[in-house]
Amino acid sequence: MKKQLKLLAAVTLIFTTFAAHAAEPLALQQVMKDLGKNMQIVTDGISREDWTLVEHSAHLIGEHPEAPLSEKVRIMAFMGSNMGKFKSFDGQTHEAAHEMAEAAQEKDGQKVIATFQKLQIGCLACHQAFRPAFVAHFYGKSAN
């Protein structure tokens, strides 16, 4: 019985991994859209020196939701040996977002801007390294 359940779980995982429609947007895309929105809110917060807003948004950026397991499996399969690099870009942005939250808490505008730059460099680095091939693979079109 236990063996059968394990087999069923494995088959379900494989099925959800490969049966997902190729052109359907990944959950990651919505995560990214939200990251983009929160970055815009941060720039607005900086202009207004609304450090509470900046801190709140920095936490939303740093603690963004993760893609579901079935999607992670697809991403890992695509990334292969590049997964470590992909993860390290993710880690870099989480760290920068955390530093930005701290700077906002200290109401240190200069530091907020410096950490915001660090954050954007992290976003850009991952996009430049992976987005074109990622989009081509999962949606069968080139990144815009």
The angle that helices 109-139 and 69-79 make with each other, rounded to 10 degrees, is 80
Residue with tokens 């947007």: 25
The CA-CA-CA angle for residues 142, 118, 44, to 5°, reads 85
28: contact with ligand HEC by CB under 6 A: yes
39 near ligand HEC (CB under 6 A): yes
The region of 15-23, 30-38, 45-53, 110-118 touching ligand HEC under the rule CB under 6 A is 30-38
Report the amino acid identity of residue 102: E
Q: Examine residue 131 and tell whether it contacts ligand HEC (CB under 6 A).
A: yes
Alpha-carbon distances of 37 from 9, 30, 73, 133, 134, rounded to whole Å: 37, 11, 27, 24, 21
Measured CA to CA, the distance from residue 18 to residue 45 in angstroms comes to: 42
The answer to the question of residue 126 lying near ligand HEC (CB under 6 A) is: yes
Q: Does 118 bind ligand HEC (CB under 6 A)?
A: no
* Pair 22, 138: CB distance under 8 Å: yes
Binding of ligand HEC by 135 (CB under 6 A): yes
Taking contact as CB under 6 A, which single stretch among the options 9-17, 48-56, 102-110, 134-142 is the one that binds ligand HEC?
134-142
Question: Does residue 16 interact with ligand HEC by CB under 6 A?
Answer: no
- φ, ψ (nearest 5 deg) of residue 106: -80, 0
Binding mask 55-74 for ligand HEC (x = CB under 6 A): ------x-------------
Chain residues binding ligand HEC by CB under 6 A are: 26, 28-29, 32-33, 35-36, 39, 61, 86, 89-90, 93, 119, 122-123, 126-127, 130-131, 134-135, 138
